Amino acid sequence: MVDFSMVLGAKWQRQGLVLCRAADGMGSHVVGDPCIVWDDEYHTWRMFLFFSPPGCGDTLCEDPNRAGGGDWQAPQPLSFVNPEAICSGYAHKPFIVQDPYRPNHAARIGGMFCLLIVSRVDGHKVVQQAWSASLAGPWKVDPAVLIPCGEAGEFDSKHVDAVTGFFFEDRQEILYFYMGYPDQPQDRNISPMGSAQGAALRSVSGTSVCKLGEILPPRQSPHHWASGWVGGLQLLPGKTHRWIALLNASPTAPVAADSNVFREEPPPSLGGFAYTDEEWPVSGWTYAPEPIEWIDRMPQEAFDTGEGFNFWRHNLLALHDGTLAVFYNSGYYGQEQLYMISTFA
């Protein structure tokens, strides 16, 4: 097994643009929030992504040993058997439930794959799930809300967003991580309105989810890269440290009176890591002291290809040749494209 603890001290090389926004029409707004899994049926990597419009898409890799720019097909919208079951009729930020001990490998649960999607109820983001016997779909949506918003005043009372999920077969449980936004100030000296990373748990034999509360709130240290708000999380197994989390966060605290489009997630969004040595990865998390990269330290050639302003949702992929690659979207809000860095070319 790869010791993903090595990413904490890794040196990364920028590999540039992987998928660009179309000039107009479908896919022209956002291409990002990648979730990459191995597809045995097609013998290659399949990327699920926020592809707006229509919100959820996927694409196959032409060369599974490379997976960089020019190696992916044009994204296509996901196919749903019953799209009317999606709350508010719109879904985005798809994520395939995975095996936590084999990153980027989809879990089979009762012979089926599980897709997590973010939808809305009365203007509040919530999580739903869909099922298929094939990663290619079509997907059947469960009309029930899987992870709802919390009660008034709780850390996730406004939105439940950026969900990921991992099936622990030995426990017969699915552990979910999600980004919770509060509707009221939280008991923090720094960033009382900032989102936090929460966790929830469900037995595969049950229907309801048990929320476990905050596991990674904003760091209470001024100017720390994760002191403002905390975004989505990818869970990775380690040896030096038991578990590694790849996530995005910001040093900038949201302000309740802000009316900008980025009022809930002010820039910059930065990619970085956290780790825990606990056997069950819902406690003991510590942020790495620095992010992968600060926006203002990017080389000019990265700005020239459209990067800047934010580094959004990150997905680490261990390629067959030993390369560790990280995919992320970057750019101004609603105009992001997909980029990649790797440990070596």
Domains present along the chain, CATH in parentheses: 4-342 (2.115.10.20)
Write down the pLDDT at residue 27.
53
- Check: CB of residue 97 under 8 Å from CB of residue 106: yes
Q: What is the pLDDT of residue 5?
A: 87
Q: Is 80 exposed, middle or buried (0-12, 13-18, 19+ CB in 10 A)?
A: buried
In the prediction, which pLDDT does 200 show?
98
pTM of the model: 0.96
pLDDT at 1: 67
- pLDDT given at position 253: 96
**pLDDT means over runs of 10, the chain (345 residues):** 84 94 67 96 97 91 91 95 96 97 97 98 97 98 98 97 98 98 96 98 93 97 97 96 97 89 92 98 98 95 93 94 92 92 80
Euclidean distance between CA atoms 58 and 12, whole angstroms:
26
Placement of tokens 């990153």 in the chain:
103
Q: SS3 for 182?
A: coil
212 Cβ contact list (under 8 Å, min separation 6): 198, 199, 200, 201, 282
Contacts of residue 150, Cβ cutoff 8 Å, sequence gap at least 6: 156, 157, 160, 180, 211
CB count in 10 Å sphere of residue 320: 11
Structure confidence at residue 297 (pLDDT): 94
Find the angle CA(204)-CA(95)-CA(173) to the nearest 5 degrees.
20
Q: What is Dmax (Cα atoms) for the chain?
A: 52
DSSP state of 109: B
Which pLDDT belongs to residue 82? 98
